[in-house]
Amino acid sequence: MRLVISKDDIPLETARQAHYGTSHTPEKRADQVQAGYVEYFKEIEAEFQKYEIGYQPYDAEMWAVVNAFKTIYTRRYIHVLTVKSRCLSPMITGPSNFPVRKARRANDREHKTTGDFLKWADKTLTRLRKDYDPRLLAACPIVAGEPDAIQRLEEKIKDAEAFQSLMKSANRIVRKKKLSDPEKIAGLIDLGISEGNAPLLLQPDFAGRCGFAPYQLTNNGASIRRMKKRMISIQAEEEKRAEPAEDIICTCEIGRITVHENIDENRLQISFEVKPPEQYRKWLKSYGFHWSGRWVAWQRQLTDNARRAGRHFFEAIENGEFQE
């Protein structure tokens, strides 16, 4: 089920009261609020409709999440309108005995409430796009060291394998000559393909092929193999992280320098007793280290390359590469 959108989700009287003290035409502004709300969610529905893959369990989960967003958005938007209803403008109420301080407090609160609401909506939509937009999913790698990296990768592999099996089963149904088109559509729906997408699989593409194209199976299969290799790599990295290396300490002309593997933060950190000279900082930046005021250290993601860079840094000190 996609979105059920109605202008009455935003009560007309609430929208009118929101502009009663700030507009000469609160009724017209109320109509605009309702129309804008409907348009906003129609755009969201059209956007997420593109993210459907035709696999009913996956698509149903996505729309359940988007509907949950709509429910919370609507409740928070009504709250924003309620807060706005306390705002006043001297152009509407008249300047005589106008409560300046009270109006300023109301305006400040409305400004903050609206800002927090819009920031939350943008942040939540961005997260939903990252979860369901195929292009963003492909561009968002799972990094070793994240708390749920292995679990997330296992889930992605499981979903990809299920979709691979679905495509093969669907193609077998589509190619059965003994079945009529209605029988094929029924079989595809039984696999979990949506009623809207099932008939589309019976329509030939530009090359005259019905069902899922060979390149779709090939690409998805390659993705599965790539993720399995990544799984092995992450598991190996996790084993190393289970036994972190001891701190490496070096004393030179600028004092004590420590290399520390911060497992909780997934960072290799290099700290100094004093601010290091420019040539030290330039070297660290060239190897991907960044200054962290929180940890008072130069750090980068904890990987084998980072460990090698840490060892190389001490070797450079011992070899006098930083001496002027």
**pLDDT digits over 75-94, tens only?**
999 999 999 988 877 666 65
The DSSP code sequence of 63-93 is: HHHHHHHHHHHHHHHHHHHHHHTT---HHHH
The DSSP code sequence of 21-71 is: TT-S-HHHHHHHHHHHHHHHHHHHHHHHHTT--SBHHHHHHHHHHHHHHHH
Among 242, 270, 295, the domain-final residue is 242
Tell me if 254 is assigned to some domain: yes
Say if residues 188 and 196 touch (Cβ distance below 8 Å). no
Among 137, 157, 172, the domain-final residue is 137
Tell me if 236 is assigned to some domain: yes
Say if residues 65 and 131 touch (Cβ distance below 8 Å). yes
What is the model's pTM? 0.52
Say if residues 15 and 81 touch (Cβ distance below 8 Å). yes
DSSP 199: G
Q: What is the chain's mean pLDDT, rounded?
A: 84
Sorted by sequence, the CB contacts under 8 Å of residue 140 that are 6+ apart come out as: 130
Number of helices (H), then strands (E), belonging to the chain: the values are 11, 5
What per-residue confidence (pLDDT) applies to 10?
A: 95
On the question of pLDDT at 311 being above 80, the answer is yes
106-159 pLDDT per residue, tens: 888 889 999 999 999 999 999 898 888 877 766 656 655 566 777 878 888 888
What per-residue confidence (pLDDT) applies to 20?
A: 85
Integer CA distances (angstroms), 302 to 143, 283, 284, 289, 316, in order:
10, 18, 15, 11, 20
Residue 235 and residue 158 in one domain: yes
Residue 74 and residue 13 in one domain: yes
Residue 184 and residue 110 in one domain: no
Find the domain containing 173 and state its range. 149-242
On the question of pLDDT at 264 being above 70, the answer is yes
CA dihedral over 81, 82, 84, 87, signed as positive or negative: positive
Q: Which of 35, 17, 11, 54 is nearest to 194 (CA)?
A: 54
3-state secondary structure of 190: helix
Amino acid in the structure at residue 148? D
Residue 160 and residue 209 in one domain: yes
Average pLDDT over residues 273-288: 89
Residue 43 and residue 82 in one domain: yes
Residue 154 and residue 48 in one domain: no
The DSSP code sequence of 263-294 is: TTTTEEEEEESSPPPHHHHHHHHHTT-EEETT
